[in-house]
Amino acid sequence: MQFDIAIVGGGIVGAATFYKIQKRNPTLKLALFEKEEALAAHQTGHNSGVIHSGLYYKPGSLKAKNCIEGRHELVDFAKTHGIDHDVCGKVVVATDEKEIPNMDRIFDIGTENKIEGIEKINADQVKEIEPFVKSIGGIWVPCTGIIDFVGATKKMVELALSINPNSKVFMGHEVSSISKEDSFSIIHSNKGDHSSKYLVFCAGLQADRLAKKDGVNLKEKVVGFRGDYYELTEKAKGKVKNLIYPVPNPDFPFLGVHFTRMTNGEIECGPNAVFTFKREGYNKTDFSLKDTADALSYGGTWKLFFNNMSFGINEYRRAFSKRLFLKTLQRMIPSLDDTDIHPGRAGVRALLLSQDGDTRDDFRIEYHGNSIHVLNAPSPAATASLAIGNYVSKEAEKHFSLK
């Protein structure tokens, strides 16, 4: 089958891109290729379900701009289409005096990013919001929320297909290679070949591999980090009302273990962040020789390890020790005990790791011939998905001369 534009990747960024391009160009025949039998099967379906405010991201960056724009649009989308969500707010809490300077820095970033309603609060005010939290103060972020990202992904695809019945979604189609023929690209998959004039890749954990298959000279590699969650037991659920975050350590590229009330009422605690030996491996013992060799043959991986040695060791110890995981949670809620938590699910985050081992790169979108590649879209990409979709659809019109 021939298409005008094919999107590769059925996570929320791919779905939003599919939806936004179709909405802006209703006569174009689009295709969406997803290698799994379900949409949102990897990062989208394994994250903590948080609608991020934009509090942490460098002012003027793509992350900041798209997170804030995307958050507003995502909430409106959820309201319009009946997606489970709740703009419940969160507290970022300091438990040690050493965290105050960094908490102030985060607040200043939030102010510069014009995050609506944020305010510094004292320990008593924190307790009014989250009675079981022990802190020395914090930041109240009322515009943070929770959402069913899988439901949102499915709705975006459904809406795109309703615009043009000639557009198609191909589930269980793993793209193995790309070849060029005249003005078209041939997409070779495990279930047959299709051609498209233009391509957009939103491949998440496989972004670097598909970029190389499309001929992109990419120096960086995607490295996966597994995040394990615990859940609060029924008797402990009352200790968390909404979202509770620690003040993140500026020397560590993740936000830290936090408490999240999910849209189904469950309370998750996590995630930690450990190097994974399989990009799409959600169990502690999952292993892929290809993924491991890919990561450990890359100099950037070793620089990341050496630059974050103590953090990495602590994260691994905590991954295999319920006692140590609990100890981290008790910094914010001291009354939790061993019977209050039990192991939950896990997710894997894709980070396009630079050659110097830096994980804190901005969203990254590049162009190669008749293709657009979303190469780096870590958190808050799910929150920002509709804004990323807007951005890519406008870039497609420009680079593909659609209008």
* The pLDDT of residue 189: 97
Q: What domain count does the chain have?
A: 2
Q: What average pLDDT is seen over the chain?
A: 95
Q: Which of 309, 299, 207, 202 is nearest to 252 (CA)?
A: 309
Low-confidence ranges of the chain (pLDDT < 70): 253, 360, 403
Does 91 reside within a domain?
Answer: no
CA distance 91 to 114: 17
- Assigned token pair, 363: 């969203």
Residues 270 and 391 in one domain: no
Q: What values do phi and psi take at 178, rounded to 5?
A: -125, 135
* The pLDDT of residue 403: 65
Residue 107's SS3 state is: helix
Residues pairing with 343 in the sheet: 230
Residues 157 and 22 in one domain: yes
CA distance 316 to 234: 27
Does 66 reside within a domain?
Answer: no
* The pLDDT of residue 390: 98
Cβ atoms of residues 267 and 237 within 8 Å: yes
Structural domain for 304, as ranges: 221-236+252-353
Does 136 reside within a domain?
Answer: no
Domain of 204, CATH number, reads 3.50.50.60
CA distance 16 to 20: 6
Instruction: Encode pLDDT of 256-268 as tens digits.
Output: 899 999 999 999 9
Residue at a domain's end among 333, 353, 373? 353
Residues 229 and 349 in one domain: yes
For 24, residues 6+ apart whose C-beta sits below 8 A from its C-beta are 393, 394, 397
Cβ atoms of residues 24 and 397 within 8 Å: yes
Instruction: Encode pLDDT of 132-167 as tens digits.
Output: 999 999 999 999 999 999 999 999 999 999 999 999
Does 78 reside within a domain?
Answer: no
Tell me if the pTM is above 0.85.
yes
Residues 260 and 383 in one domain: no
Residues 303 and 378 in one domain: no
Q: What values do phi and psi take at 170, rounded to 5?
A: -115, 100
Residues 308 and 264 in one domain: yes
* The pLDDT of residue 100: 96
Residues 256 and 321 in one domain: yes
Does 143 reside within a domain?
Answer: no
Residues 304 and 389 in one domain: no
- Assigned token pair, 378: 């870590």
Residues recorded for the chain: 403
Does 97 reside within a domain?
Answer: no
Does 89 reside within a domain?
Answer: no
